[in-house]
Structure 1
Amino acid sequence: MKALTFKRYGKTPEIGITEVPRPTLRPDEMLVKVHAAGLNPIDNMITTGMFKPVLKFQLPAVMGSDLAGVIVEVGGSVTRFKPGDEVFASLFDQGTGSLAEFAVVPQDLAARKPANLDFVQAASVPMVGLTSWQALKERADVQTGQRVFIPAGSGGIGTFAIQLTKHLGAYVGTTTSTANVALVKSLGADDVIDYKKQEFEQVLQGYNVVLGTIRGNALEKSIGILKPGGKIISLIGPLDAAFAQARKLSFVLELIFGLMSRKIIRMAAKKDVDYSFLFVRPDGEQLNEIGALLDAGHIHPVVDKVFPFDQAKQALEYLSQGRSKGKVVVRMQ
């Protein structure tokens, strides 16, 4: 079968479409004919080797995490799905990828594709949906009336997280460029800061939760907009010791990650604010709940651009520019 693979870590990962063996199934797995694969920034970051100590791949490795498609075969212990079912899933952290004609999906990671979404729309959801869910519902426990700051509101995470936060009954502040103000307002954002004209930390105050999505000093600045007892949940680092402990990494990595996050944790503690790093995990049950919100029309996928499979490498390059409004998706079929 054809798949988009990378052969090595570093500046020349040799990304390209190649022939790879069609995967075989374990009892709890399903073979899915991939119709569309959603791209995420970490897809580009993995090839640099940045996450090599954490994410394990056997090279050459198939790229991509998110998919939507049709089940063509199931393992002997699969009970929740059957051939012909339309599903969507994230394969993140599984050592395999979604940018291929076929993908192996453990049944516990899959959910039925919402009937009102096509395959491209469904493939855009898993990682941003699960990340938003785990950050806002699971870790932050966002409540009605709270204030949540979601920077970069027009990006893949931002467009989904704004809608989920509004569904949870919270007030949303975000940042975006002038051209995307109307978009984020249409998604429900209440306070919209045009970062080309204003600094968010000079405008926003009294927030309960910050979703860290922007590199640089934005995390440090966001401490000042939080109430005492507030939470910063970072998706971009720095990694912390709790992350190393949760993944049962070596003591050396735990020490390194602890040192990496020491500055931001201390700054947060001085303001009685909690800092933590979130590494998304695939979860079929949560994806089912997200799918119900999508099916009911409470949340709508935002897709910026769709590339054919033979232009998957160009799709990753486009994503790396950081200008997409919503998600970038590769259509396999």
Structure 2
Amino acid sequence: MIAAQVKEYNKKSIAVQLVEMEKPSIGNTEVLIKVLAAGVNPLDNMISRGEVKMIVPYKLPVTAGNEFVGLVEEVGSEVSNFKVNDRVFARLPLNKIGAFAEYISVVEAALAKVPDYLSDIEAAAVPLTALTTMQALDLMKVKTGKSIFISGGTGSVGAMAIPIAKAKGLRVITNGSAENEKRVLELGVNQFIDYKKEDYTKVLTEVDYVLDTLGGNETEKQMSILKKGGTLVSLKGMPNGAFAKRMNLPKWKRVLFGIAGRKFDKLAEKHGVFYEFIFVESNGSQLQEVADIFEELKIKPSIDTVYPFHEVNAALDKVANGRSKGKTIITIGEK
């Protein structure tokens, strides 16, 4: 089979190499899957640049790719929820990625069944961002009727986060460019802020939760709009000690992340709010909950560009450098 691999960490190059490999074998609790399509994410480029090796130290070379949709070809002897020809998707376990390949073996616990109404390309856009949202909302301990600000909600994360937050009974606020206003309002946004005309810090106050997709200086700005005791979960900030403990990292890493994330912990303390950092993990049962929400509401993820497998590096470059209005996908196999 063909797979796209990261051969070495390189801060100046995100290119992967297409190589010929043996089709993977499966264990008792695993499923062999023919990959049909895979989502391409900033995380893929972060891995290539070595930016997450403190969280997940991959042994190189490693097959790239974190989420996929595919067809079950074979099931292990202890697998009970899936059968041959089921269409499944997943955010792969942190310690065993490899979605950019023609075949992959995946532990049953990471998988969920794809809603019939979604195409393969649409389904490939769902797992990572949807699970990011679900796990962020869990960290926030969200309650129906409360408000959430999803910063930069016109991108691929917002396309997932907005309808899921609405399904959880939240009042959703986001900001972005005016050209995307109609699209996000159709996803269920209650309040849209045109970032070129209005500063959200001047418009918003007493917000219950924030999903920070921007990072940098925006993280503290978003803390300022929260009510006392509110929670900000960041996708782009700095991991802190609480994150390291939650991820069950070794004690020395907990110390390092505690030091690295202290700035954000102090900012949160200054504003009287809580700061959390998230690095999304695989979770088949949570993804099945997402699939059920999507099936009921017939949510369609926003797709930006679709590339064939042999143009995987163009897809990675698009994610790194292109202004996206949705998810970038690579098609790998055929049904």
Q: TM-score, normalised by structure 2?
A: 0.95
Query: 1:118 is aligned with what amino acid?
Result: S
Identical amino acids, percent of aligned pairs: 38
Does structure 1 residue 197 correspond to structure 2 residue 197?
A: yes
How much does 1:251 deviate? Answer: 2.9
Correspondence list, 1:228-307, <5 A: 228-297=228-297, 299-307=299-307
CA distance in 1, matches of 2:252, 2:259: 11
Query: 2:306 is aligned with what amino acid?
Result: V
How much does 1:13 deviate? Answer: 5.5
Correspondence list, 1:1-333, <5 A: 1-10=1-10, 11-12=12-13, 14-136=15-137, 138-297=138-297, 299-333=299-333
Structure 1 pair 208–139 and aligned structure 2 pair: CA distance change class (3 A): same
- Checking the alignment, whether the CA contact within 8 Å between 1:164 and 1:299 is kept in structure 2 is no
CA distance in 2, matches of 1:13, 1:269: 37
Provide the secondary structure at the position in 2 that maps to 1:45.
Answer: helix
How much does 1:50 deviate? Answer: 0.9
Structure 1 pair 108–232 and aligned structure 2 pair: CA distance change class (3 A): same
How much does 1:92 deviate? Answer: 4.2
* Root-mean-square deviation over aligned CA pairs: 1.5
Residues 48-82 of structure 1 show CA distances to partners (whole Å, capped at 9, x for unaligned) of 11111221323221111111110111112111111
How much does 1:12 deviate? Answer: 3.8
Residues 293-314 of structure 1 show CA distances to partners (whole Å, capped at 9, x for unaligned) of 1111253222112111111110
Unpaired segments ≥5 residues, structure 1: none
CA distance in 1, matches of 2:15, 2:39: 21
CA distance in 2, matches of 1:267, 1:326: 31
CA distance in 2, matches of 1:124, 1:167: 19
Query: 1:305 is aligned with what amino acid?
Result: T
- Checking the alignment, whether the CA contact within 8 Å between 2:219 and 2:237 is kept in structure 1 is no
Query: 1:328 is aligned with what amino acid?
Result: T
CA distance in 1, matches of 2:115, 2:48: 31
- Checking the alignment, whether the CA contact within 8 Å between 1:92 and 1:281 is kept in structure 2 is yes
- Checking the alignment, whether the CA contact within 8 Å between 1:33 and 1:102 is kept in structure 2 is yes
- Checking the alignment, whether the CA contact within 8 Å between 2:240 and 2:265 is kept in structure 1 is no
Unpaired segments ≥5 residues, structure 2: none
Query: 1:77 is aligned with what amino acid?
Result: E
How much does 1:204 deviate? Answer: 1.2
- Checking the alignment, whether the CA contact within 8 Å between 1:205 and 1:225 is kept in structure 2 is yes
CA distance in 2, matches of 1:101, 1:200: 44
- Checking the alignment, whether the CA contact within 8 Å between 2:150 and 2:212 is kept in structure 1 is yes
Query: 2:243 is aligned with what amino acid?
Result: F
How much does 1:190 deviate? Answer: 2.1
Structure 1 pair 140–246 and aligned structure 2 pair: CA distance change class (3 A): closer
How much does 1:143 deviate? Answer: 2.2
Provide the secondary structure at the position in 2 that maps to 1:296.
Answer: helix
How much does 1:218 deviate? Answer: 0.7
Provide the secondary structure at the position in 2 that maps to 1:328.
Answer: strand
How much does 1:141 deviate? Answer: 2.5
How much does 1:279 deviate? Answer: 1.6
CA distance in 2, matches of 1:54, 1:206: 33
